[in-house]
Amino acid sequence: MYFLNAALLGMSRRVVASILVIFGGAALLAAMASIGLWSHWVGWQKQNLRASRTAAVFVDSIDKNVVEEVLTQVMQVPGVESARVVSPEEFTAFLKQHFPDLAAATVELGDSVIPRTLEVVFPLDSDTFSRQHSADQIKAIKNVTRIDDGADRLGAAIHSLAWLSYGGICLTIGLWLVLLIVCLGHYQSIFYTDSQEIQLIRSFGASKFSIFLPWLLEAVFQSLITGIVVVLSLVFGRGYLTEVYNQFFGSLGYEPFVLENKNFLIVSMAIFLLALVAHVLGGLFALMRGKIA
């Protein structure tokens, strides 16, 4: 009970410093969580972007039977996960969305000017060599005029995504280190101001653990409160974050950002853990630097 009282009393005696550390830490952790999630999503996009493993196969005929025949042959090519016919309506809708002038022209000229295409999807784990081999086999099919590989088109963009992801992860780690330094400074100042009390309890035969326990409890409380503040801010800011992320991803035609409840729970637990580790490590470093115990 003494240790609990000492921890609570310590926080109330240093209420301004405690609030600053809690909200400063919460701001850092919220930024960290946002950037971390973004980096993770960018990494995921790099691996899972549907467009990058999709190829458009152009057929040199508008005859439905010919197109179906090409589709059947494409499906038999090794390394093809799935294939489907892109309907003229779907193609027109795409043109309307991205190239309205071209769409208006095709309306006047009729369906016959719209190239018949197939959308071919390669497996997630397919390597460049096997994909190229599959693409070459598709090109060799009768009535196939050309194949437009998404990986080739997005190659440079995917490379940039990888660097963005690494940059985001570095920034996330950097923010956590800033939090650790903030905690170190906070606990160092606590140990300095409480040095009389530490000296006193040491004179009663307190072990190092007993000396550190009240500050450990204080660290646990502060990290819990910090975690709650961050999780609440993410709960309320989740919609906004999603919108901001999708402004970026949407502009490049990538998969929309979605944060499912299960993942949100994992993120929340990670936030609590990171806050706790930063506070406890900060306290231990401060204790070692001060050589108080």
Query: What are the start-end ranges of the H helices in 123-149?
Result: 128-139
Cβ distance to other proteins smaller for residue 14 or 131: 14
What is the distance between the terminal CA atoms of the chain, rounded to a whole angstrom?
21
Number of C-beta neighbours around residue 138 at 10 A: 22
Number of C-beta neighbours around residue 133 at 10 A: 15
Cβ distance to other proteins smaller for residue 207 or 263: 207
Q: Whole-angstrom Cα distance, residue 238 to residue 240? A: 5
Whether residue 167 contacts residue 48, with contact meaning beta carbons closer than 8 Å, is answered with no
Rounded to a whole number of angstroms, the minimum distance from the CB of residue 225 to other proteins is 23
How big is the site for other proteins, counted in residues (CB under 8 A)?
17
Length in residues, the chain? 293
Rounded to a whole number of angstroms, the minimum distance from the CB of residue 201 to other proteins is 6
Range 204-233, binding other proteins (CB under 8 A): 204-207, 210
Of 19, 124, 200, 288, the one binding other proteins (CB under 8 A) is 200
Stretch near other proteins under the rule CB under 8 A, chosen from 74-82, 137-145, 149-157, 199-207: 199-207
Judging by DSSP bridges, how do beta strands 144-149 and 116-121 pair with one another? unpaired
Range 110-149, binding other proteins (CB under 8 A): none
Stretch near other proteins under the rule CB under 8 A, chosen from 21-29, 58-66, 103-111, 196-204: 196-204
Rounded to a whole number of angstroms, the minimum distance from the CB of residue 4 to other proteins is 9
Cβ distance to other proteins smaller for residue 209 or 236: 209
Query: Residue 68 corresponds to which tokens in the numbers above?
Result: 């179906």
83 φ, ψ (degrees, to nearest 5): -150, 145
Whether residue 226 contacts residue 275, with contact meaning beta carbons closer than 8 Å, is answered with yes
The reply to whether 98 sits near other proteins by the rule CB under 8 A is no
The reply to whether 281 sits near other proteins by the rule CB under 8 A is no
The reply to whether 16 sits near other proteins by the rule CB under 8 A is no
Hey, what amino acid is at 249?
A: F
Judging by DSSP bridges, how do beta strands 54-59 and 144-149 pair with one another? antiparallel
Of 43, 197, 246, 277, the one binding other proteins (CB under 8 A) is 197
Give residues in contact with other proteins (CB under 8 A). Answer: 1-3, 5, 9, 13, 196-197, 199-201, 203-207, 210
